[in-house]
Amino acid sequence: MAFQVLVICFISTIVFASILMLWRKHSKTLLPPSPKALPIIGHLHLLSPIPHQDFHKLSIRYGPIMHLFLGSVPCVVASTAEAAKEFLKTHEPSFSNRPAQTVAIEAFSYGFQDFLFAPYGPGWKLMKKLCMTELLGGRMLDQFLPVRQQETKIFIQRVLQKGIAAEAVDFGAELMTLSINIVSRMTVSQTSSDNQNKAEEMRKLVSDVAELIGKFNISDCIWFLKRFDLQGFNKRLKETRDRFDALLDGIIKQREKERRNDNQTGGTRPFKDMLDVLLDMFEDENSEMKLNKENVKAFIMDLFVAGTDTSSVTIEWAMAELINHPHVLEKARQEIDVVVGKSRIVEESDIVNLPYLQAIVRETFRLHPAGPLIVRESSRSAVVCGYDIPAKTRLFVNVWAIGRDPNHWKNPFEFRPERFTENGQSQLDVRGQHFHLLPFGSGRRGCPGTSLALQVVHVNLAVMIQCFQWKVDSGNGKVDMEEKSGITLPRAHPLICAVVPRFNPFPNM
């Protein structure tokens, strides 16, 4: 088998090189600048497991728009706000598709039957309408405000107990549990905090799914390797997908049983969660959007994966920056003490009156965007900034690099929230209108969960600042800021702190 693969690689190298030479000789298209490619692998040898950093380094040499081949996949990378605006606004109709080539996305989206990865078209537009009006609209968010408040209090109690017991706290794990509890209750009216084993299972599943979607799989890039599982990727993918699928099947079957019992007894649920909304549409033959069970599970998968890891890693990065910049942390505490006081914890309604806290979150979004790369695919050929971009070209907008562009940010590598309180920057929008700050994407395929994410991140970072002091066990008292690979932007090392209670909202503890 190994000899056969070697022969195939050798023959394919010759064929690929010949085709590439002929194509370059006769092609009249003007592609963006590109590094020298190798046969078969293209530019894969230039990339590490953290591609947004590699794209940034390459853009310094090859410019704000460059062309790459990831194996046999043609790609274009945009690394400045101006280039991002051209792709995501001026030419948005040509770049509204998500790439559908990866086996991980196909598996976890149930064959692209979800919202995040479904191809652009009439069906996707109905899915977006469902998300924006029903699942993640203002009415649903207002309905679940008490749930978010309860989970924040439970989170504070857990951290307080560990602080009182002088136990170190792994904030990555704790924040992930908080996010999963919030999304679980909003989606399926279940909280994993009721069962520690279930909490750990769900946290591990979400983490594994996010890792696999973001993990490089060579078979996705080199067409003749698709039948070979050289990295053991497909085996792990199937195991994780089956575990998550079994979990979702159990939840849905239990809910359907409860709904049948309610119909028979005339009972009603106190309020509908997101699963109820999806099942209503699934059971309604006259619904504008026809859902099947795979659609329902794919939507729930999206909500768990996109709505948990992103919020938790953002808060974790913000905490790490505040530990490394104690003067910023102290200024934030003073603001909260003045505006909120010490008789109650911060609430979502307080955030509008905490401009410095908002600036800290924006600065975290700038340096540590949860989605460092916006990924699209061209549905048709387009001319962008004078370059010919063929159809079926994968687009990477490097949000991470844009947040470090010295043409838009003074001292771009410095964590300085004050930049968002000066010169009118306090009004800088994070919802995709300003292309030098794109933490939630832009346009039609911008993140539908932006409002929920902003509420969760702001209020829970605020209560951490208000209720605790954090200390890291390191020689200089600093936290390392190394990243690791993933579909989001996880920290390479867990943020583990000793916690000293500063304000106890539960005096009986």
Q: Mind spelling out the 3-state secondary structure of 178-228?
A: HHHHHHHHHHHCCCHHHCHHHHHHHHHHHHHHHHHHHCCCHHHHCHHHCCC
Place of tokens 């959007």: 289
14 and 104 part of one domain: no
Q: Which long-range contacts (CB under 8 A, 24 or more apart) does 121-124 make?
A: none
DSSP for 149-170 reads HHHHHHHHHHHHHHHHTT--EE
Q: Which residue has the higher pLDDT, 217 or 443?
A: 443
What average pLDDT does range 164-179 have in this prediction? 92
Is 447 marked within a binding site?
yes
The model's pLDDT over 383-410, given as tens digits with 9 standing for 90+, comes to 999 999 999 999 999 999 999 999 999 9
Q: Any idea what the Cα angle at residue 268 is, between residues 266 and 272, rounded to 5°?
A: 150
4 and 79 part of one domain: no
pLDDT number for residue 400: 98
19 occurs within a structural domain? yes
DSSP for 65-108 reads EEEEEETTEEEEEE-SHHHHHIIIIITGGGG-BPP---HHHHHH
273 and 301 part of one domain: yes
228 and 333 part of one domain: yes
How far apart CA 187 and CA 276 sit, in angstroms, is 9
Which residue type, as a one-letter code, is found at position 388?
D
74 and 9 part of one domain: no
- Mean of per-residue pLDDT scores for the chain: 88
pLDDT number for residue 453: 95
Question: 65 pairs with which residues across the strands?
Answer: 78
Which residue type, as a one-letter code, is found at position 463?
V
508 occurs within a structural domain? no
With a pLDDT cut of 90, the percent of the chain lying above it is: 62
Residue 427 has pLDDT above 80, yes or no: no
The model's pLDDT over 57-71, given as tens digits with 9 standing for 90+, comes to 999 999 999 999 999
How far apart CA 384 and CA 169 sit, in angstroms, is 49
How far apart CA 238 and CA 250 sit, in angstroms, is 18
55 and 114 part of one domain: yes
62 occurs within a structural domain? yes
Q: Smallest Cα–Cα separation from 78: which of 362, 310, 378? A: 378
214 occurs within a structural domain? yes
231 and 306 part of one domain: yes
How far apart CA 411 and CA 403 sit, in angstroms, is 11
220 occurs within a structural domain? yes
131 and 13 part of one domain: no
- Do the Cβ atoms of 130 and 246 come closer than 8 Å? no
The model's pLDDT over 375-389, given as tens digits with 9 standing for 90+, comes to 999 999 999 999 999
415 occurs within a structural domain? yes
Q: Which residue has the higher pLDDT, 200 or 488?
A: 488
509 occurs within a structural domain? no
Q: Which residue has the higher pLDDT, 353 or 474?
A: 353
pLDDT number for residue 198: 63
With a pLDDT cut of 70, the percent of the chain lying above it is: 90
**Residue 225 binned pLDDT confidence (cut-offs 50, 70, 90):** confident
469 occurs within a structural domain? yes
Tokens of 458: 């702001």
pLDDT number for residue 413: 96
**Residue 192 binned pLDDT confidence (cut-offs 50, 70, 90):** low
- Do the Cβ atoms of 376 and 445 come closer than 8 Å? yes
How far apart CA 169 and CA 496 sit, in angstroms, is 5
pLDDT number for residue 223: 67
User: Please, how many CA atoms are within 13 Å of residue 462, restricted to the half-sphere of its CB?
Assistant: 32
What average pLDDT does range 292-315 have in this prediction? 91
What average pLDDT does range 233-238 have in this prediction? 87
How far apart CA 300 and CA 109 sit, in angstroms, is 10
Q: Which residue has the higher pLDDT, 271 or 37?
A: 37
277 and 154 part of one domain: yes
pLDDT number for residue 20: 45
Structural domain span for residue 6: 1-27
pLDDT number for residue 79: 98
**Residue 426 binned pLDDT confidence (cut-offs 50, 70, 90):** low
16 and 38 part of one domain: no
202 and 108 part of one domain: yes
pLDDT number for residue 228: 75
How far apart CA 442 and CA 116 sit, in angstroms, is 14
Strand-strand pairing, 169-170 and 394-398: unpaired
5 and 109 part of one domain: no
Give the three-state DSSP class for 398: strand
Cα torsion angle, 112, 115, 117, 118, sign: positive
Burial of 13 (0-12, 13-18, 19+ CB in 10 A): middle
Chain centroid to Cα 332, Å, comes to 26
Number of domains in the chain: 2
Question: Taking phi first (over 0 means left), then psi (-120 to 50 degrees means alpha), and beta for anything else, what does residue 165 get?
Answer: alpha
Q: Which residue has the higher pLDDT, 193 or 118?
A: 118
H helix or E strand, kind and range, residue 260: helix 233-265
pLDDT number for residue 3: 37
The model's pLDDT over 316-354, given as tens digits with 9 standing for 90+, comes to 999 999 999 999 999 999 999 999 998 899 999 999 999
pLDDT number for residue 293: 93
The model's pLDDT over 130-148, given as tens digits with 9 standing for 90+, comes to 888 889 999 999 999 999 9
Check which CATH number belongs to the domain holding 176 and give it.
1.10.630.10
H helix or E strand, kind and range, residue 499: strand 496-501
pLDDT number for residue 6: 40
How far apart CA 116 and CA 429 sit, in angstroms, is 22
